[in-house]
């Protein structure tokens, strides 16, 4: 198999750049196999995984080494793709948007640089995983809680930059960011906000600064490489109650959301609440073949059987209540009163001390206490054989009317395309992130094609009703960006103007989130990019492939 090459590179010119990189980093930190390693390919590709294959992976160990990588990349117009640990599996893993890019992987930079218990924050390098941070907090006796997403092996920094969610009180991870250190494309080193004054004593306590707020510029962006992040952590509460409410009928969905909203907006429930339909719950503990031998979508009687046999609801809501015991109990009574008005709603709850250990807590309650696990992996056992997944995840207001609109639209399109409707909803204070998992056999070209068509229909139809995706897989980054079309796509034009100003050679993660640099020959390569052109910016990201 020929070596995967970056656009505009020959085998010889790539080898020469890799030799330069190896001189700076040491041979062991430049990995350029003749055939891409499966570890660096999109694990759940909706087609040929080689379309998003990198040419090499480099692992700088310091800011200075990142600066050296950028100097070489600028000199040769070499596209890079930054990941912290590269465990973002549902969105492409380590794989870059532009085939042949060199992945810059930061797992060696894995120090917890500071934990401030009085003020509740940590200063982290990008290679720190959720498991690492949890171990560090426990090993040093810190009475602070973190929040983790479904898989604890990923990077805390990478997940927060991508606006990931967890279920503990600080579960909107991007909202906990306070102060970044960033290496810019030209090698300059910036500390945002209060971090740029002397030794920046208020860097991780005040999100503003003097002038524009810059932290947000580096979220889901390709404007810089983040090398340090201040992240707020919650003081360990005296106690918490893990609550679960099951709803007996599919029709209870709107009352569930309407009952939840005032409790969320009024801050009786302070952590994320997670709602899941019966299919999504069953996917965590069973295999599909237990419920149906028919490959077509699960029928209502099959779902009722799940509900009866597993003792779950058509809808299932989980959240935690946190604080001093008296406060938690008062909040619990409010929750019981409110949900008790929905006929058939069953509330169960377990109370724990705030310093509960991993061994003492029920596995299903661990996410609410920010204890990382690999629980979400269970979904990959759902289908016989291989299970690939891609998540459609639009944002909407936390309101029954919007939520039911989404559920009905997504469910009908899923069934029409022959897929089960599996829904997990993250309920923030005012928003709802509806995650529909399309599970498919990645070795089955017909099923993969159907999954892709369904996804495209959902993105377009969702946008037509005013709901946009909050994050997406490599494959759909352009399609999703195209939906943000206010004033002829002015937001994307602004994003690309900033891109050109900060990264004139277009070397940092070109195409990420549909943000393409003017420079770089990305339009004329044989990459299967989606056709998209932004007329007024004069650039085209179309490809004929």
Contact call for residues 100 and 4 (beta carbons, < 8 A) = yes
Catalytic residue (one of 471, 492, 530, 539): 471
- Which pairs count as long-range contacts for 290-293, CB under 8 Å and 24+ apart, including other chains? none
Q: In the annotation, is 377 catalytic?
A: no
Could you give phi then psi for residue 439, rounded to 5 degrees?
-105, 130
Told to check if 472 binds ligand ADP by CB under 6 A, we report no
Check: CB of residue 42 under 8 Å from CB of residue 474.
Answer: yes
Quick note: the x/- pattern for ligand ADP over 91-130, rule CB under 6 A, is ---------------x-------------------x----
Task: Assess 83 for contact with ligand ADP (CB under 6 A).
Answer: yes
- Comparing CA positions, the residue from 466, 478, 483, 485 lying closest to residue 409 is 466
User: Given the complex with ligand ADP, which of 18 and 183 has the nearer CB atom?
Assistant: 183
Please tell me the distance from the alpha carbon of residue 285 to that of residue 264, in angstroms, as a whole number: 29
499 binds ligand ADP (CB under 6 A): no
Of the residues 18, 30, 41, 161, which one makes contact with ligand ADP according to CB under 6 A: 161
Q: Supply φ then ψ for residue 313, to 5 degrees.
A: -100, 170
> For ligand ADP, which is the closer residue by CB, 124 or 423?
124
Smaller CB distance to ligand ADP: residue 4 or 83?
A: 83
Neighbours of 266 (CB within 10 A): 10
Q: Quick one: which segment of 6-14, 85-93, 273-281, 357-365 binds ligand ADP (CB under 6 A)?
A: 85-93
Phi, psi of 345 (to 5 degrees): -75, 130
Closest CA to 178 of 198, 144, 156, 207: 207
Please choose, out of 34-42, 78-86, 237-245, 250-258, the segment that lies near ligand ADP by the rule CB under 6 A. Answer: 78-86
Q: Is 155 in the site for ligand ADP (CB under 6 A)?
A: yes
Regarding 85 and contact with ligand ADP (CB under 6 A), the answer is yes
CA 143 to the chain's CA centroid: 27
d(CA 68, CA 25): 9
Out of 121, 170, 470, 522, the active site residue is: 470
Q: Give, as one character, the DSSP assignment of residue 452.
A: H
60 binds ligand ADP (CB under 6 A): no
Q: What are phi and psi of 515, to 5 degrees?
A: -100, 110
Q: How far is the CB of 175 from ligand ADP (least distance, A)?
A: 16
| CB distance 220 to 471 below 8 Å | yes
Residue 472 Cβ vs ligand ADP, minimum distance, rounded to whole Å:
12
**426 is a site residue for ligand ADP (CB under 6 A):** no
Active-site residue, from 91, 223, 421, 522: 91
Report the residue number, 221 or 246, with the smaller CB distance to ligand ADP.
221
Which range, of 82-90, 188-196, 440-448, 514-522, touches ligand ADP by CB under 6 A?
82-90
148 binds ligand ADP (CB under 6 A): no
Nearer to ligand ADP, 225 or 312 (CB): 225
Determine if 225 is a binding residue for ligand ADP (CB under 6 A): yes
Q: Is 470 among the residues known to form the active site? A: yes
CB of residue 292 vs ligand ADP: minimum separation in angstroms? 32
Strand partners, 31: 57
Nearer to ligand ADP, 99 or 288 (CB): 99
Residue closer to ligand ADP, measured from CB, 128 or 454? 128
Q: Which two tokens stand for residue 406?
A: 């989404």
State yes or no: residue 90 binds ligand ADP (CB under 6 A).
Answer: no
Please identify, using beta-carbon distances, which residue of 125 and 244 lies nearer to ligand ADP: 125
Sequence-distant (6+) residues with CB within 8 A of 219 are 161, 162, 163, 174, 177
Q: What is the DSSP string of 82-138?
A: EESS---GGGTTT--SSTTPEEEE-TT---EEEEETTTTEEEE-TT-BHHHHHHHHH
Residue 51 or 331 with smaller CB distance to ligand ADP: 51
Q: Is 147 in the site for ligand ADP (CB under 6 A)?
A: no
**Cα distance between residue 362 and residue 151, in whole Å:** 17
Using CA atoms, how far apart are residues 260 and 281, in angstroms rounded to an integer? 20
How many residues bind ligand ADP (CB under 6 A)? The answer is 20
User: Binding ligand ADP by CB under 6 A: which of 154, 372, 394, 517?
Assistant: 154
- Give the residues across from 182 on adjacent strands: 190, 226
Query: Which 8-state DSSP code applies to residue 3?
Result: P
Least Cβ distance, residue 379 to ligand ADP (angstroms) = 16
Q: Which of 201, 225, 178 is nearest to 65 (CA)?
A: 225
We find the least distance from the C-beta atom of residue 122 to ligand ADP, in angstroms, to be 16
- Give the residue among 405, 522, 499 at the shortest CA–CA distance from 458: 405
3-class DSSP state of 440: strand
For the bound state, the minimum distance from the C-beta of residue 60 to ligand ADP, rounded and expressed in Å, comes to: 11
Q: Does 88 sit near ligand ADP (CB under 6 A)?
A: yes
Cα torsion angle, 304, 262, 145, 112, sign: positive
Nearer to ligand ADP, 158 or 442 (CB): 158
- Window contacting ligand ADP (CB under 6 A); options: 49-57, 159-167, 265-273, 349-357: 159-167
Q: Least distance to ligand ADP from the beta carbon of 161, Å? A: 5
CB atoms within 10 A of CB 61: 16
Instruction: Answer for the pair 6, 79: CB distance below 8 angstroms, yes or no.
Output: yes
Query: At its nearest, how many Å lie between ligand ADP and the CB of residue 52?
Result: 11
Please list the active-site residues.
Answer: 91, 470-471
Which residues sit at the interface with ligand ADP, rule CB under 6 A? 82-88, 106, 126, 154-155, 157-159, 161-162, 225-226, 509, 512
């Amino acid at each position: 198999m020929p070596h995967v090459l970056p656009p505009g590179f020959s085998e010889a010119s790539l080898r020469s750049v890799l030799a330069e990189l190896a001189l700076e980093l040491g041979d062991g930190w430049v990995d350029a196999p003749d055939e891409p390693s499966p570890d660096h390919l999109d694990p759940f590709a909706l087609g040929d995984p080689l379309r998003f294959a990198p040419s090499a992976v480099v692992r700088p160990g310091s800011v200075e080494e990142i600066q050296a990588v950028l100097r070489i990349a600028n000199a040769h117009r070499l596209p890079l793709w930054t990941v912290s640990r590269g465990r973002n599996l549902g969105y492409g893993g380590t794989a870059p948007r532009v085939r042949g890019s060199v992945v810059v992987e930061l797992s060696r930079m894995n120090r917890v640089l500071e934990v401030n218990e009085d003020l509740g924050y940590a200063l982290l390098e990008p290679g720190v995983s959720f498991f690492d941070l949890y171990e560090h907090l426990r090993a040093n006796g810190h009475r602070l809680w973190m929040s983790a997403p479904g898989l604890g092996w990923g990077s805390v920094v990478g997940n927060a930059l991508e606006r990931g969610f967890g279920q503990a009180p600080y579960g909107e991870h991007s909202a906990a960011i306070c102060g970044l250190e960033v290496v810019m494309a030209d090698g300059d080193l910036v500390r945002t906000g209060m971090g740029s004054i002397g030794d920046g004593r208020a860097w991780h306590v005040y999100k503003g600064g003097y002038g524009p707020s810059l932290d947000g510029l580096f979220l889901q962006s390709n404007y810089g490489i983040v090398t340090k992040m201040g992240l707020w952590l919650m003081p360990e509460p005296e106690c918490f109650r893990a609550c679960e409410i099951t709803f007996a009928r599919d029709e209870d969905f709107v009352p569930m959301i309407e009952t939840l909203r005032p409790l969320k907006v009024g801050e009786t429930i302070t952590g994320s609440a997670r709602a899941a339909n019966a299919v999504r719950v069953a996917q965590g503990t069973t295999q599909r073949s237990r419920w149906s031998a028919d490959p077509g979508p699960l029928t209502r009687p099959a779902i009722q059987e799940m509900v009866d046999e597993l003792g779950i609801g058509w809808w299932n809501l989980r959240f935690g209540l946190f604080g001093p015991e008296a406060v938690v109990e008062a909040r619990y009574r409010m929750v019981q009163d409110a949900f008790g008005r929905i006929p058939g709603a069953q509330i169960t709850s377990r109370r724990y001390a705030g310093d509960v250990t991993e061994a003492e807590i029920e596995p299903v309650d661990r996410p609410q206490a920010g204890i990382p696990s690999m629980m979400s992996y269970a979904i990959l056992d759902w289908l016989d054989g291989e299970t690939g997944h891609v998540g459609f995840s639009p944002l909407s207001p936390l309101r029954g009317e919007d939520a039911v609109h989404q559920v009905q639209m997504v469910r009908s399109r899923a069934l029409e395309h022959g897929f089960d409707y599996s829904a997990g909803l993250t309920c923030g204070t005012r928003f709802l992130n509806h995650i529909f998992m399309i599970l498919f056999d990645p070795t089955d070209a017909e099923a993969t094609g159907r999954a892709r068509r369904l996804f495209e229909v959902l993105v377009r139809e969702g946008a037509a009703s005013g709901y946009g995706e909050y994050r997406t897989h490599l494959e759909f980054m352009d399609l999703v960006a195209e939906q943000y079309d206010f004033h002829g796509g002015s937001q994307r034009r602004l994003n690309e103007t900033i891109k050109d100003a900060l990264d004139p050679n277009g070397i940092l993660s070109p195409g990420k989130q549909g943000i393409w640099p003017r420079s770089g020959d990305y339009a004329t390569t044989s990459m299967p990019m989606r056709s998209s052109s932004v007329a007024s910016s004069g650039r085209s990201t179309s490809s004929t492939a």
